[in-house]
Amino acid sequence: QAKQMTGNVVEMAKNAGLSFDFDKNIPGNSFDAHRFLHFAKTKGLQNEAEEALFHAHFIDGKDTAQLNVLVEVGEKVGLDKNELNAVLQSDEFTEHVRYDIYESQQIGIRGVPYFVLDRKYAISGAQPVESFKGAITQAFGEWKAEQPKTELKSLNNNNDAVCDENGCEI
């Protein structure tokens, strides 16, 4: 069953232009990788670090449970090697990761990948793009409908421009 599931993921990755190789995949504890991502977030590089981490793990077959691999990945996205190494040698961001685990357990996440939209909708597992588009469209539509509409009162005395949800008039 696991081989079939990974086969599905490999096929979806292939359709997205990615080359996953689960035969090279090294399973391991991802706790430090999550601390690494929290550190990257403080530097504004979380998205880049996450992409590089996934590439190292799923495509290159690197053991992302190893601190030296995390430092290598971090350097590639512009993180300072010495600062990252110091963070990973400490317990910094441990509580952040523990809270992430607690929160995921509270909302019923039991596996990855798992995507939560607006704390209302969940997408579990590797899904086609259409599933994401539909879920995002629905969640955004509901969120937008719940937002109060605010009309701004102009403090200038001219009516140079008037804008509403349909556009602007000059």
pLDDT tens digits, 38-97? 999 999 999 999 999 999 998 899 999 999 999 999 999 999 999 999 999 999 999 999
Q: What are phi and psi of 12, to 5 degrees?
A: -65, -40
* Domain residue ranges of the chain, discontinuous segments joined by +: 2-106, 111-170
State yes or no: pLDDT of 159 exceeds 60: no
Kindly report the pTM of this predicted structure.
0.73
Q: Name the pLDDT band for 28 (thresholds 50, 70, 90).
A: confident
Give domain 2-106's CATH architecture: 3-Layer(aba) Sandwich (3.40)
Dihedral sign of CA atoms 124, 52, 47, 64 in order = positive
Q: Which of 59, 73, 67, 62 is nearest to 20 (CA)?
A: 59
What is the pLDDT, as a whole number, of residue 81?
97
What is the pLDDT, as a whole number, of residue 127?
83
Dihedral sign of CA atoms 67, 55, 118, 167 in order = positive
